[in-house]
């Protein structure tokens, strides 16, 4: 994460002992990150057209990871998140990464997150925010930050393709 870092996330945690001005001052860090990210994203708009609709950092706020599929030979990776809320409705957002490059550690982190989401429905790790960037070699970098323990994962790829499938609710059928 370049803008919405785990450190920024930890500073934003509300403490009952905070005064309103103390908490407000910490929120300014989030505002600054948003301005910097939005500026960067606008400069890369032509390279990030495929993800423009979902590139807002909090578009997937509280998204639950429900599927991970990785084909090492073809370097294809897809992640599916249950996103939305009661007011706007729910959808499965599937991100398909072509030419994916991901570390073994990040794959293991995704597997651990998936393990707490789908089979056990404990929802220990929700997607807090995400960022898209373009690396010097032209690859797209997608970074994600999961709460509550600020786990982060990064994926580099040549193309990201998002698809949305409406769902009736947030429940996972077994």
- Domain contains 172: no
- Total domain count, the chain: 1
Dist CA 12 CA 161 (whole Å): 31
Q: How many CB atoms lie under 10 A from the CB of residue 98?
A: 15
Find out whether 170 and 90 touch, Cβ atoms under 8 Å: yes
- Report the mean per-residue pLDDT for the chain: 88
The model's confidence at residue 116, banded by pLDDT at 50, 70 and 90, is: confident
**Mean pLDDT value across residues 77-93:** 91
Candidate from 27-36, 61-70, 115-124, 148-157 with smallest mean pLDDT: 115-124
- Domain contains 1: no
Find out whether 158 and 140 touch, Cβ atoms under 8 Å: yes
- Residue 94 above 70 pLDDT? yes
Please report the pLDDT score of residue 10 as a whole number.
80
- Domain contains 118: yes
Dist CA 37 CA 133 (whole Å): 9
- Domain contains 117: yes
Which uninterrupted H or E stretch holds 131? strand 126-134
pLDDT digits (tens, 9 = 90+) for 152-174: 999 999 999 999 999 887 777 64
- Domain contains 143: yes
Domain range for 71 is 6-167
Dist CA 154 CA 102 (whole Å): 7
- Domain contains 83: yes
Q: How many CB atoms lie under 10 A from the CB of residue 27?
A: 12
- Domain contains 102: yes
- Domain contains 116: yes
Q: What are the two backbone dihedrals, phi and then psi, of residue 104, each rounded to the nearest 5 degrees? A: -60, -40
Dist CA 162 CA 28 (whole Å): 31
């Amino acid at each position: 994460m370049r803008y919405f870092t785990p450190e920024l996330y930890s500073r934003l945690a509300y403490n009952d002992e905070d005064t309103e001005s103390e908490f407000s001052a910490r929120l300014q860090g989030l505002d600054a990150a948003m301005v910097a990210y939005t500026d960067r994203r606008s400069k890369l708009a032509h390279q990030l057209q495929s993800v423009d609709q979902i590139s807002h950092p909090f578009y997937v706020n509280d998204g639950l990871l429900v599927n991970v599929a990785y084909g090492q030979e073809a370097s294809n990776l897809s992640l599916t998140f249950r996103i939305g809320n009661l007011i706007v409705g729910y959808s499965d957002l599937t991100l398909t990464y072509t030419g994916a490059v991901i570390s073994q550690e990040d794959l293991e982190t995704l597997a651990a997150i998936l393990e707490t989401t789908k089979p056990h429905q404990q929802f220990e790790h929700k997607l807090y925010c995400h960022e898209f960037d373009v690396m010097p070699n032209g690859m797209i970098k997608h970074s994600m930050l999961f709460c509550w323990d600020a786990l982060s994962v990064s994926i580099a790829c040549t193309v990201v393709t998002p698809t949305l499938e409406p769902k009736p609710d947030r429940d996972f059928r077994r």
